[in-house]
Amino acid sequence: MTLNAYAPAPVSSGAAPAGICRRYFIALLILTAVFTFTGCGNKADSKPVTESSFQLGTLVELTLYSGPGRQVFKKAFELISAYENTLSRNIESSEVSEINRNAGISPVVVSSDTFFVIEKGLYYSSLTGGLFDISIGPLVSLWGIGSEDARLPTPDEIASALALVDHSKVRLTAGENSVFLEKEKMAIDLGAAAKGFIADKVLELLTENSVKSAIINLGGNVVLLGRKPDGRLFRIGIQNPFDTRGSYLGILEGENVSIVTSGIYERYFEEGGKRYHHILNPDTGYPVENDIMGISVITEKSVEGDCLSTSLFMLGSEKALQLVESLENTEALIITKDKKIYLSSGIGNRFTLTDSQFSIF
């Protein structure tokens, strides 16, 4: 795998879209997990063009350095929208909502894309001893983290929701692409996996449309297509998770890779001096507690990176690094709560620390 440069670029955007909490939208603009430095050092380079859109409950930003023109942006945003309409549990007509509505009632035949993402989710359940669990839906709804309804549930509410979370009760029938949730009121939530899958599909679309150099950023799921036109690596700034001002703590360089970040510094609420974030432990029903503040995972396929970023997050830094070292073509950068940075062995000198508050281990 080849990694290369990152850097922060100001996010271009307009007003918060209808239905989105303005306060939250502004927070997203400030707190993107990674920043892409899009500038060209060489005057001969074609100028990058960036367009952004609020989709998938997050900020989507596409930067093209080459290609057939603006039409390709339209196609890409439409593709993302089509996948959102299929994979979102917030959209009633989606395949995921259909599966959830039929929990305990009957199997639902879905598209091969939806089936693929669910299969991936179950694979990562087996890799993490069940910590990664796409049947987390009832708990996600209960906590409401990331929405205006976020609140601390009662222990009884948590126990009731937990009784519905069990990836072993998601039954897939491969020949017919059917999905059945065996227990009534179970619900799958692909929030930890689907953005990566969609980013891979956007990459395919751009490639088919002759784009040679681009950055796809679906709210922290970054895919780098090629290199910059001047032959240099892309530079991605890794957000300082302790700083709300959009500053980055270091720069990662790369080409033709996916870099996915999971963290607990964007989607959370505080009550009684305690932070409750959105990555939930399916054993306890509460946000996972360990030493990690944020993790960026580098893989070839973004769907793997998305599932892995959440999975590794749940394991804590020590086990996460062990797992990363055992996986092919996978690297990780872990930021802990005590401001240490752990790099997997393949990152080498492709990460440059720029903030002296942190130290590399």
Chain residues in the site for ligand FAD (CB under 6 A): 56-58, 84, 87-88, 90, 131-134, 136, 140, 146-147, 189-192, 194-195, 219-220, 262, 267, 278-280, 282, 306, 309-310
Strand bridging mode 178-181 / 170-173: antiparallel
* 118 closest CA partner among 102, 144, 103, 99: 99
Which residue's beta carbon is nearest to the bound ligand FAD? 57
Q: Are 288 and 314 in contact (CB under 8 A)?
A: yes
Token pair in block for residue 108: 């639902």
Q: Do the Cβ atoms of 60 and 54 come closer than 8 Å?
A: yes
The CB-of-323 to ligand FAD minimum distance in angstroms stands at 15
DSSP state of 36: E
Q: Are the C-beta atoms of 351 and 358 separated by less than 8 Å?
A: no
Which residue is listed with tokens 């690596």? 233
Closest CB to ligand FAD among 110 and 211?
110
Q: Which does 84 bind (CB under 5 to 8 A by kind): Mg ion, ligand FAD, none?
A: ligand FAD
Distance of closest approach, residue 25 Cβ to ligand FAD, in angstroms: 10
Whichever of 299 and 309 has its CB closer to ligand FAD, that residue is 309
State the greatest distance between any 2 C-alpha atoms of the chain, in Å, as a whole number: 64
Least distance between ligand FAD and beta carbon 124 (Å): 8
Whether 316 contacts 290, CB under 8 Å: yes
The site partner of 48 among Mg ion, ligand FAD, none (C-beta below 5 to 8 Å per kind) is none
Closest contact distance (angstroms) between CB of 310 and Mg ion is 4
Residue 102 tokens, joined? 């039929």
- Binding residues for Mg ion, per CB under 5 A? 192, 306, 309-310
Of 190 and 211, CB closest to ligand FAD: 190
- Closest C-alpha among 171, 164, 166 to residue 115: 171
Partner whose binding site includes residue 255, from ligand FAD, Mg ion, none (CB under 5 to 8 Å by kind): none
Shortest Å, Cβ 58 to Mg ion: 12
Residue 194 interaction partner, one of Mg ion, ligand FAD, none, beta carbon < 5-8 Å per kind: ligand FAD
